[in-house]
Structure 1
Amino acid sequence: MLTMKLSQSQLYRLSIAGRTASSLSLLGVATIFTTFTFSEHFRGPTHRIMLINGFYNLFDFIATMISVSGPEAGDDSALCRFQAFSLQMFPVADVLWTVAMTWDVVLVVFYHYEPERLRRLEKKYIVVITTLTFVPAFVFLFIRNAEKGPLYGSVQFWCSISPNWVLFRIIFYYAPIWLLILGVLILYIVIGHELFQLRHELMLTSNDCLALSSRTSPSNESVRRTNRDDMKDLEGPIIRQQSAVSLRKFLLMPILYFLALLATWVAPTINRVYAFRHPGKEPYPLMMAVATLGSLRGFWNGIIFISLRSKARR
């Protein structure tokens, strides 16, 4: 049953807000799937990671779409436990995919990884991220004691880690998420600093592309043997032949993705810290912000996905 004291009208408005935001996010995920399938201009390395993450987001937003129906079904119901499991696993996976996206940027900027090498890493990302998120979410299904009850239970307007286990939720949910977000922020600071320091040494073309080819390839050796005028003529065709990417867009897309993620987690985190300090006294406007903003990740992801085309060439 519901553990919070809200009127039926308040619960109704919370469910409407959450389900509306979830519907927009499901539309965003569908946009990612459709655009990737039918347009070759949206198949860059970052687009691919957003596509994979879209499958994880799908379960996340189905869970938020359930809304108050989970708590109303009861803590021991299959619906509530499915909702709690999904809201434990898939939002954390979303953050980890942001880390993977940022790591791809590091590999391209510092190690000149080609798209094919990045693609081979995707299976490893899937295994690691799925394992790190599935195992704890699954184990939590079986944790309970006589004093606090089951670990998964009703939390305001959906099922998640029960308020009786609020410290557990902070340690195993919000703390890792914010550590990962902080790690991503630090990586972008390092990337930005390094790019500024090496801006004249990177293999950048006049159209803002970063060449991903090996510097020791035969074609590059032949370029070195030409005079400076011939090099200007040959540089463009050679870079086009060897998987170049727009550095600005390659960096901009993950950064926007990160900012959307950051905006998503501010309200839920403030709400959880407030609930920890003042149990059962969470302000209703803050609950509304959580119900809305916490379910909009897929919507922002869809906008970011279609707003930046990759400069892929044959």
Structure 2
Amino acid sequence: MSLSSYESRFIEVSERVCSVLSLIGTSIIIGTFISSNLFRKPINRLVFYASWGNILSNVATMISVAGYANGIGTPLCQVQAFFIQWFMPADALWAFAMALNVYLTFFHKFDSSQLRRLEWKYFLACYGIPFVPAFIYFFINSPSRGRIYGEAVLWCWVSIKWDALRIATFYGPVWFILILTFAIYIRAGKVIFEKRRQLQSANTNTVGSSYFVDDPFQEGAKTTEIRVTTEQVVTSSVDAEQGMTVPDRGRAPGTSEYSPYSIKIETGPNMEKEDIPMQPLPPVPNTGKTNFKRQVATVEANKAAWAYTKCAMLFFVALVITWVPSSLNRLYTLVDPTGDSMGLNYASAIVLPLQGFWNGLIYVAVSWPSVKTIVANVRQASQPYPISTAAAHGNLEPPRFRRQDSDSNESTTELARHPQPKGSI
């Protein structure tokens, strides 16, 4: 399909403007994630990995129609098509990885450390699977249909003569992944909303059965088992001078007798045992504090799981918005191979380059408490400090600003507010 100069110009401007917006979004993601520990949350780690693919995808969309305008056999056109075929569907795979983490958390009780050990596998799968067809297409050149990479209206990509490959290796796998992702959220939906109801009724006096007891996203969690061993002892003392047994002088009249005991502590994973002698202590009455603490831990853990799920679902919704117009455009060309819808082409030219923009927008929304902390620190550091009485007497030392970090302003038990340890990326 040949475009008029006006149509070509409109598509070119739309693609480049949207690509710039996406590059701004991905730059915010990468910059804040690398520079501040506040943004190194479990959900943000996957977004960080996906952002590199968004950048290279936007490099291709920035080229726009200039790729095939210079010739479909030029390196510019071929590299542009290669980047689009490789990195554009990778975003759907990263959304599936987020959904898979939700599934493993709710139904297999994976914690943060277990999920983190899967990240290198996610990285290889999300970028390795689409790389295979994208690389193979470089070497296919049919005498009747020519190269696979060629003009595709919006940019260089799989040419119209190889239209079946667009469905087989691009739109088909993307929608298969989106359906799997949607199925995971449907499967987890019942559990999610049950937990939400538990959170809303968290002020009850009893603790029912819960999906989580300890925070499943707490990194490096360690279980400590305490066993109390008691033994009967003689609770009287002997007067050496008179040979008489007398009551223990260390106990006030009217109080009950307490036996000395020891505590045996076992910690994982080595389960090392150590006997610690203890002084006699009075028994602690059951005040319900244990149940209350257990309830609070359950509520906080479920809050963490819900926050993670909510963020992952936002990425899924943004992905659906991105792929619907272009998928409808492909269906239209299958029904009418000789025609094309400029309306769908315009919509595709706008939404497809915006993947990084949506990711950045959701990233900032989820990390909004961290954003406010950073802004507050910058404002505090930029404000001139008042001259105090000490300064008037020659002590001009400026006030020391305490850097707010994740330990002081955010709950470490909520996944959406759980930063990674310092020095880790």
**TM-score, normalised by the number of residues in structure 2:** 0.66
Q: Unaligned 5+ residue runs, structure 2?
A: 199-207, 229-284, 368-415
Which residue of 297, 308, 312 corresponds with 2:366?
Answer: 308
Determine which structure has greater relative contact order: mean sequence separation of CA pairs < 8 Å that are 6+ residues apart, divided by chain length.
1
* Cα separation, partners in 2 of 1:239 and 1:185, compared to 1, 3 Å: closer
Corresponding residue for residue 201 of structure 1: 209
Q: Unaligned 5+ residue runs, structure 1?
A: none
Question: How far off is 1:165 after superposition?
Answer: 0.6
Structure-2 separation of matches of 1:119 and 1:197: 26
- Contact 1:64/1:295 (8 A) holds in 2: yes
Runs of 4+ in 1 over 6 A off after TM superposition: 213-216, 236-240, 242-245
Question: How far off is 1:128 after superposition?
Answer: 2.2
Structure-2 separation of matches of 1:16 and 1:220: 67
- Contact 2:215/2:301 (8 A) holds in 1: no
Q: Larger radius of gyration, structure 1 or 2?
A: 2
- Contact 1:88/1:173 (8 A) holds in 2: yes
User: Residue type matched to 2:73 in 1?
Assistant: D
* Match status 1:192 vs 2:192: no
Corresponding residue for residue 87 of structure 1: 84
Question: How far off is 1:236 after superposition?
Answer: 7.8
Question: How far off is 1:22 after superposition?
Answer: 0.6
* Cα separation, partners in 2 of 1:280 and 1:21, compared to 1, 3 Å: farther
Structure-2 separation of matches of 1:69 and 1:196: 49
Structure-2 separation of matches of 1:64 and 1:280: 25
Corresponding residue for residue 50 of structure 1: 47
Corresponding residue for residue 274 of structure 1: 332
* Match status 1:145 vs 2:142: yes
Structure-2 separation of matches of 1:220 and 1:252: 37
Corresponding residue for residue 61 of structure 1: 58
**Cα deviation code 1:244-269 (max 9, x no counterpart):** 86222111110000000000000111
**Cα deviation code 1:104-160 (max 9, x no counterpart):** 111122222222221111111112222211111100111121111111101002011
- Contact 2:16/2:64 (8 A) holds in 1: yes
Structure-2 separation of matches of 1:116 and 1:221: 27
SS state at 1:5 partner: coil
Which residue of 11, 16, 19 corresponds with 1:14?
Answer: 11
* Match status 1:38 vs 2:13: no
Query: Identity of aligned pairs, percent?
Result: 31
User: Residue type matched to 2:6 in 1?
Assistant: S
User: Residue type matched to 2:350 in 1?
Assistant: T
Deviates more, 1:119-128 or 1:74-83: 119-128
Structure-1 separation of matches of 2:99 and 2:156: 31
Deviates more, 1:16-25 or 1:281-290: 281-290
- How many residue pairs were aligned? 305
Corresponding residue for residue 229 of structure 1: 288
* Cα separation, partners in 2 of 1:220 and 1:153, compared to 1, 3 Å: farther
**Cα deviation code 1:22-75 (max 9, x no counterpart):** 110111100111221233332222110000000111111110111011111211
* Cα separation, partners in 2 of 1:221 and 1:284, compared to 1, 3 Å: farther
- Contact 1:203/1:210 (8 A) holds in 2: no
